A and B are shown apart, each in its own frame.
Chain A
Amino acid sequence: MFNLTKLEHTLRLKPHLLSLSLEEAVKGELESLFVDKVIANLGLCISVYDIESIDGGFIFANEGAPTYTVKFRLIIFLPYVGEIISAKLKESNSNGLRLTLGFFDDIYIPELLMPEPSRCKPDADHKNQVIWAWFFNDEEYFIDGQDEIRFRVQNVKFPEIPKEQIGTKPFAPMKITGSLVSDGGLGPVSWWV
């Protein structure tokens, strides 16, 4: 799920950070720049792992702040296609399921990638939601929100930033599509344990 990525970035350290040691100030800047942000085609940045080198420190003309070129490593969240991940159910509607990892919410399991055959029933408790059930060997297995759901990563998309706001849904810069189709082992953990 996680990997390390080495990056190089040029940043300016504003003078109010002069009281901190160089490494602390640089680390703070990197964290505010990258942590919890999605870098296109790279993944979601979780944390700054370490700083390899800090070069520079020159002050360019017309500026009041030194510029540093920093080489560092970030912990990136980017599941690869085919990986099996355990996540919790966030919502389930007629299009499929939406799962969450706590720090990442945009995991969708579309209807086509549900275990065959599945059917959905309207949920009495929540207005727009449905409960999906899998029919296997004449028995009905429900996908309720009780335990973790294991799915296989089908693909990871980085949609482009739209120029205008589309509706009220916040833009998701990274979307994972998952699948529950398998010979066994995927879906809520309670089905198999």
Chain B
Amino acid sequence: MKILQENAGQLTNFEVLDFLKSRGAAKDPTKVLAPIAPSEFKVYDYLVQSVAKSQTRESIAKFVAECKPYKLTKSEIANIINIRPSSVVEIDPLIENLDSRLGESVEDLVQLVVEVFPPSPDEKKAEGTPELDESKGEDTADGSKAGDIPDESNFDDE
């Protein structure tokens, strides 16, 4: 076994969730098609309970485009997308040298996060979580995502 390229691109939680969904994972174990291994299912379980379930490809692309003025590193952007901080105190551990780099505009950044990624009904402690809208729709032309994300081509299901 040879390692050709060790880190060929960072994936946000949403992308992994999307990939597992397209392979056929679902909440209900009886509806799962054979191709999903039990360990992959556990990953799916974890991701479905995280903020990734209410994100869409478009909202992530939008966030990346709009947070450019804040000059965040790729890993910080990925972190924010994965955690979705909704207050200044939550975003504090995610970004290094917060005060010297962002100062006052931290609040604007938090506002942007909350706008682009609305909280899922779970977080509002409401009943009934709608499943993520299967709108993998437009492949965004925005290549400047957090990491070199390869083309999300359609997976050939067996």
Contact = CB atoms under 8 A, between A and B. Distances in A.
Interface in B114-130: none
B16 A2 contact: yes
A73 B8 contact: yes
A103 B42 contact: yes
A9 B4 CA distance: 10
Contact of A75 (B6, B16, B37): B16
Contacts, number: 115
Contacts of A185: 85, 89-94
Interface residues of A, number: 42
Contacts of B23: 47
B108 interface: no
Given A36-B39, A101-B46, A103-B39, A71 B93 contact: no
A151 to B, nearest CB: 9
A118 interface: no
B43 A102 contact: yes
Contacts of A46: 16, 39-40, 43
Contacts of A31: 37
Contacts of A71: 4
Contacts of A82: 75, 96
A182 interface: yes
Contacts of B20: 47
11 contacts: A4-B150, A8-B4, A42-B6, A47-B40, A84-B93, A103-B39, A103-B46, A182-B93, A184-B93, A185-B93, A192-B87
Interface of B: 1-13, 15-16, 19-20, 23, 37, 39-40, 42-43, 45-46, 50, 75, 79, 82-83, 85-87, 89-94, 96, 147, 150, 155-156, 158
Interface of A: 1-10, 23-24, 31, 35-36, 42, 46-47, 49-50, 71, 73, 75, 77, 80, 82-86, 101-103, 150, 152, 182-186, 192-193
